[in-house]
A and B are shown apart, each in its own frame.
Chain A
């Protein structure tokens, strides 16, 4: 963007148009999904009822009655919150150490952590299923929290590391001179100073946890099943019940969309690693 020195006519008019087009394009599926969730299953597949139809709450009412929506929702909240807390609990000291007491290996460790994200999840599906089953952890909250934490730790440490790097080293050293131990330093100086960055990281981590589907679907049956599992479960046995499926999906993404709406600023900051102020 910086390459364009002077905003051209195309820039001043074209860019908003482009932005709106892309925005609507991304928004449309969600809009359609929410719309469909208010149609009966029969209406949902009829083209003549694409826009005009008799809205009904039937799908939503059925959902709480038949599928126990709240149990899935509760599991999603528990696993996402706990995993986010655990990730921060491990990630903050880790990023602190790497930002302020770097060793020769710090750069390599960071790269290695990121490289674990490149491992195809499918490659470890069978070992994971087998191991968790034989360890008796299959379909437990503990397992899902652990898996979600491990998946997100690399990105969380990276994000925190970039935020911590922005804190002047002098301030951390002043703390050391003033007699603070490591935990005190993290509590009294680091966390208050990097609060915005930590919040953005936590938010993003929470969203990633909430949206995770690969492992939550495969490592749960009922006990620890999250909303991802609920959507997945509605697809298979019921066939073409689009109205119902849309309602389940809307109810699953709803909370996170609302959260995202209220925290837009932090989210953008988080996704751009603080580059946009």
Chain B
């Protein structure tokens, strides 16, 4: 249960085409992440899958059934909103049990399911509180609880962690990951944060202006980005993209090299430069190097701590097997 197929799906708001024809298959049990910059149409796509937004054209299949005209409630999908969207007038218990009550489930069964969900989400002590009396993380858990009690065919998450502070976010990320491990239900997760995408996904869908730039596993995207957009979007710090004479040496319009794939020497190497800023994090050191042969600033990531300072002359050598080459259109050269 939970295979979702989008066929030539499009969406326009008035005259503005937000999603040009788009095809995508999400397999049963997959953790798919839609990632892309703000405004690229991730939420719109997710809402179309949920049924909250009509399609301008194309069709959506859920488990082999055409669901294009099926209302949201009948699609068997559960959604967790960025704002949590809890019912403020209901207690946590009522919130979680709401979809079951609406499905006319027997009260005893509702209670049992709500308590099971609450236990797994550490919400047992809060069942009789109202959402207003909960912290952000607890509200998020309630929203997840309300989604899981229904045992949906798939979960839809729209930036569920972006209202949480950084520390909580990491914790919730793990919890959602564990939830997926446990339930093995299809999840579609929208985020603009590529770190979330990389850490959680089986399958990442990179979107730009409503167009799928690449679909693949996190490591596929990391090792073989299909174009300069994906190359620059996935990975932190960002991949260095260098064009001009240095790129021509490699028969490419642009070359890309990740900060962690550059060897550093104080005496010799391919590119000479001087250190602009050195960020010492302890575990890693980030150097921002201005080169003489390269016009772009190059970021280098070195494991551990090294003693370099601002202004030091330094030599950089890209690891040739980790070098990405792109043509003038920005497409990867194999």
Q: Hey, which bits of chain A sit against chain B, CB under 8 A?
A: 168, 170-171, 173-181, 184, 188-189, 192-193
Contacts and interface: CB of A to CB of B under 8 A. Distances in A.
A102 to B, nearest CB: 13
A177 B98 CA distance: 11
Contacts of A174: 79, 81, 85-87, 146
Interface size range on B against A = 20 to 34
Given A173-B85, A176-B51, A180-B102, 9 more contacts: A171-B86, A171-B88, A173-B72, A174-B79, A174-B87, A177-B79, A181-B73, A189-B87, A193-B88
A178 B149 CA distance: 11
Nearest to A184: B102
Contacts of A173: 52, 72, 79, 81, 85
A180 B90 CA distance: 15
A105 to B, nearest CB: 14
A176 B102 contact: no
B330 to A, nearest CB: 37
Contacts of A180: 73, 102
B103 interface: yes
CB-based closest 7 A-B pairs: A170-B85, A179-B73, A174-B85, A178-B99, A192-B89, A179-B102, A176-B72
A213 to B, nearest CB: 39
Contacts of B98: 178, 188
B285 interface: no
A177 B89 contact: no
Contact of B146 (A178, A181, A189): A178
Contact of B83 (A168, A177, A181, A184): A168
A171 B78 contact: no
B148 to A, nearest CB: 13
Interface in B144-169: 146, 150
Given A170-B83, A193-B88, A176 B99 contact: no
Given A177-B73, A177-B78, A193 B99 contact: no
Contacts of A178: 73, 98-99, 102, 146, 150
B300 to A, nearest CB: 43
B182 to A, nearest CB: 22
A173 to B, nearest CB: 5
16 contacts: A170-B83, A170-B85, A171-B85, A173-B52, A173-B72, A173-B79, A173-B85, A174-B81, A174-B85, A177-B52, A177-B72, A177-B79, A179-B73, A179-B102, A179-B150, A188-B102
B275 interface: no
Contacts of B102: 178-180, 184, 188
Contacts of A193: 87-89
Interface in B63-96: 71-74, 77-79, 81-83, 85-89
Nearest to B94: A188
Most chain B beta-carbon contacts within 10 A, residue among A173, A176, A177, A189: A177
Given A170-B81, A184-B102, A176 B52 contact: yes
B257 interface: no
B50 A171 contact: no
Nearest to A180: B102
A177 B88 contact: no
B136 to A, nearest CB: 15
Contacts of A170: 81-83, 85
B72 to A, nearest CB: 5
Contacts of A171: 85-88
A22 B204 CA distance: 67
A175 B87 CA distance: 9
A225 to B, nearest CB: 42
Nearest to A189: B87
Nearest to B98: A178
A176 B78 CA distance: 10
Most chain A beta-carbon contacts within 10 A, residue among B50, B52, B71, B85: B85
Interface in B163-216: none
A171 B52 CA distance: 12
Nearest to A191: B89
A192 B82 CA distance: 23
A167 B81 CA distance: 15
A101 to B, nearest CB: 11
Nearest to A167: B88
B71 A176 contact: yes
Contacts of B103: 179
A175 to B, nearest CB: 8
A127 B146 CA distance: 57
A193 B77 CA distance: 25
B77 A177 contact: yes
A13 to B, nearest CB: 40
